[in-house]
A and B are shown apart, each in its own frame.
Chain A
Amino acid sequence: MKKIIIIAIVVISLSVYFAMTVFVLPEKFLAKEQLAPRPFLEAKVSSTEIDLGESFRLSTVSENIGDYGDIHILSVSFPTLSEIGQNVKIVSYDFSNTPIYIEVGDEIGAKYSGGLETIIAQYPSIEAMNRPVYPESKYVMDLQITPDQPGPFTMYVKSIDIPHANSFSHYPIDGTLDHQEEYVLVYAVNVNP
C-alpha cells in the first residue's frame, strides 16, 4: 500500500513538473512581449562658428526611454577627419565602460545587426557604452574638439540600444545614413581660416 502511494506521489509530481516546465510555463513566457529598450539623444555644440586653432564643446545626453536593455551605445563620428589624434578629447563621461576609439580601416558592425553584418570604417569615431541599461537612465559625454583645417567640421551622433528589437531601438529613427548605414544626427561647426 505504502509503495503504491509513493509511486502515485512520484508519478503525479513528475507529471506536474514536466507539464509546467516543458509546456505551460514556456508558453506563458513566449506569449510575453520581448523587452524593447528605446534610446533618445540630445546634443549641443558650444559654438557654431570658430576660428582655426580654437576649440568647441560637443555635449551629449542620451537616455533609455523604453524597457530594460542590455547595452546602450552612444556614437560620435567625424567624417571630416582621417584620424582623431589631438583633435578630439573626451572631457567627461559617465558610461559604465570606457569609450573606445574606432579608427579608419577597423571592421565594425553595420545595419543594426549586432555585428552579424560588418563594414570597414571610412572615418574615425568614438563609441561609449553602458551595460546593462535600465529604463529612464541617462548618460552624458562631453567632448572638446579642436579642428586643424578650415571649413565646415561635421559630426555624426547616434544612439543604439541592444537588443535591437525594432525601428525605435535606435535614435534618430530616420534622416542621414552614416558609413554603417545607420541613422545619425548631423552637427556642423564652421571653422574660419
Chain B
Amino acid sequence: MEVRQNQFWNLQNYADKIFISGSILVSLGILLVTVGGSWDITNHLLNKPETFFSPPHFLMYSGVGIGLIGVAIAFLGYRNLQDSKEAFRLPLRLKFLGIALLIGAGPFDYVWHSNFGLDGLLSPPHFTLLAGMLLCSIGGMFGITRFLHLKSSSNLTRYLIVLGVLPVWLAGSGIISSLSLPFSNTDYFEFNPDSSFAFVIATVAYPFLISLICITAAKLSNFKPGIISIVGGLFVLIYGMTAIVPNFALLESVEFYSMNMIPFVMADLIVSFGKTKKVTMVAGGILGSMFYMVYYPYVMYTYNELLLGKLVSPSMIYHTYFELMPQVMQFTIIPSIVMGIIAVFVAYKFSNKIMIKN
C-alpha cells in the first residue's frame, strides 16, 4: 500500500515538472518571437528587406517552434496531473489558442507578402501573430506563477516570474505599437491609425502596461526585492538592443536610454519596503510617468504625427524625439501617472486571480 502511495506521488511530481517545463518553454519561445518582432521593426525601418526570409523572421519563427514544443510538453504534463488539473486548465487553454494563432500567422504572413509585397506593422497576419503571442505569453505566465504558488516554496524559483511576465509585456507593447505607430500604410492598404486615436492609445495604454506588468510581478513574488528592477532592466536591455543599438545614428543615445533603470529600481525599493496598496500606488504612478522615455525611440513617431507632422528618417529620430519632449510631457504627464495608478488596482485583481487556492 505504502509503495503504491509513493509511486502515486512520484508520478504527480513528474507531471508537475513536465507541465512547468512546458510553460517555461512557451514563455521562452514567445520571448524570442517578441525580441525578433522588435528587431524586425528596426530592420524594416533601416534596411527595407525585400524578402520574407530575414534574420528577425528566423528568430520569430524559431520562437514559434519552441513555443509549440512547450505547448505539447505542457499538454503531456497536464494529462498526467493527479491533482490541480483545474488550476492548470486555463493556462493550457490559453496556450492552445495562442499557439494555433501563431502557427496560422506564419503561412498567412507568407501569402500576404507574396500577394501584397511588404506589409506594414498593422496587417491581418501581423495582428494574428500579436494576438497569438499575447495569449501564449499569458498562458505561460499563468502556468509558471500558478505552479510557483501551488507547488514550489523555493525562494530562488520565484525569479521565474520574470520569465513569465516579460513576454506578456513585450507582446502587449507590440499590440499597442501596432495600434499607434504610423508604420502601416503600404501600396495596397492604408492601415495607419488616425493620429488623434494613436495619440490617446499611446498615452493611456503604454503607462498602464508598464505599471501593470511591474506591479503584477512584484505582487506575485510577494514583493520580493529586485523583481521590478530585473523585469524593467531586461525590458530596457531587450528594447535597447533591438531598437537602438542596430541604428548607428542612435548609438550615442544609449546613455539617455539606460537612465530608465533609475525609476525601475526606485519603484522596486518603494514596493519592497512599503508592501501596502497605497505605497504601491506611488510606485505605479512613477512607472506610468516614464513611458515616453521607456518607449524611446519609436513612440516619437506617434506624437510627431499630431504635434509636428515632420518627415523623420531613421537618423533624425533622436532630434525629433527630443524636440517633442516638452510638448509630450506637458500633454501626457498627468494621464500617464493616473494610468499607472489605475494599473495598480488591476494588477492586484489580476494577481489574486492567478494565485487561486488549490
Which residues of A are in contact with B by a Cβ distance under 8 Å? Answer: 2-3, 6, 9-10, 13-14, 16-17, 20-22, 25-26, 29-30, 34-35, 68-71, 96-98, 113-116, 129, 131-132, 134, 162-163
Contact = CB atoms under 8 A, between A and B. Distances in A.
Given A17-B259, A35-B249, A116-B311, 19 more contacts: A3-B273, A14-B286, A17-B263, A17-B290, A20-B259, A21-B259, A21-B293, A25-B256, A29-B252, A29-B322, A30-B323, A34-B319, A70-B249, A70-B313, A70-B314, A70-B315, A97-B48, A114-B311, A132-B46
A71 B293 contact: no
B325 to A, nearest CB: 5
Nearest to A30: B322
B41 interface: no
B225 to A, nearest CB: 12
Contacts of B329: 22
Contacts of B50: 97-98
B316 A96 contact: no
18 contacts: A9-B266, A10-B269, A14-B262, A16-B262, A17-B263, A17-B266, A20-B259, A21-B293, A26-B322, A26-B325, A68-B248, A71-B313, A97-B48, A114-B311, A114-B313, A116-B311, A131-B46, A162-B313
Q: For A70, A114, A162, which residue has the most chain B Cβ atoms within 10 angstroms? A: A70
The 6 closest A-B pairs by CB, nearest first: A26-B322, A17-B262, A70-B313, A25-B256, A163-B313, A10-B266
Nearest to B296: A21
B115 interface: no
B222 to A, nearest CB: 19
B47 interface: yes
Nearest to A11: B266
Contacts of B326: 22
Contacts of A2: 273
Interface in B255-301: 255-256, 259-260, 262-263, 265-266, 269-270, 273, 286, 290, 293
Given A6-B269, A14-B286, A17-B259, A163 B325 contact: no
B269 A30 contact: no
B253 interface: yes
A149 to B, nearest CB: 33
Nearest to B309: A116
A21 B313 contact: no
Interface of B: 46-48, 50, 248-249, 252-253, 255-256, 259-260, 262-263, 265-266, 269-270, 273, 286, 290, 293, 311, 313-316, 318-319, 322-323, 325-326, 329
Given A22-B325, A26-B322, A68-B249, A14 B315 contact: no
A8 B46 CA distance: 43
A13 B266 contact: yes
A17 B290 CA distance: 10
A164 to B, nearest CB: 9
Contact of A21 (B249, B256, B316, B323): B256
B interface: dominant SS: helix
Nearest to A2: B273
Contacts of A3: 273
A21 B273 CA distance: 26
Contact of B273 (A6, A13, A26, A113): A6
B314 A132 contact: yes
Contacts of A16: 262
Given A10-B266, A29-B318, A70-B315, A134 B256 contact: no
Contacts of A132: 46-47, 248, 314-315
Contacts of B262: 13-14, 16-17
A163 B317 CA distance: 11
A163 B256 contact: no
Contacts of B322: 25-26, 29-30
B153 to A, nearest CB: 28
Contacts of B311: 113-116
A2 B273 CA distance: 10
Nearest to A29: B322
Nearest to B263: A17
A35 B318 CA distance: 11
Q: For A26, A30, A35, A96, which residue has the most chain B Cβ atoms within 10 angstroms? A: A26
A116 B311 CA distance: 8
A6 B272 CA distance: 11
Contacts of A13: 262-263, 265-266
Contacts of A17: 259, 262-263, 266, 290
A142 B96 CA distance: 53
B188 to A, nearest CB: 15
A30 B260 CA distance: 20
Contacts of A98: 50
Q: For B46, B273, B322, which residue has the most chain A Cβ atoms within 10 angstroms? A: B322
A22 B321 CA distance: 11
A8 to B, nearest CB: 11
B25 to A, nearest CB: 36
A14 B266 contact: yes
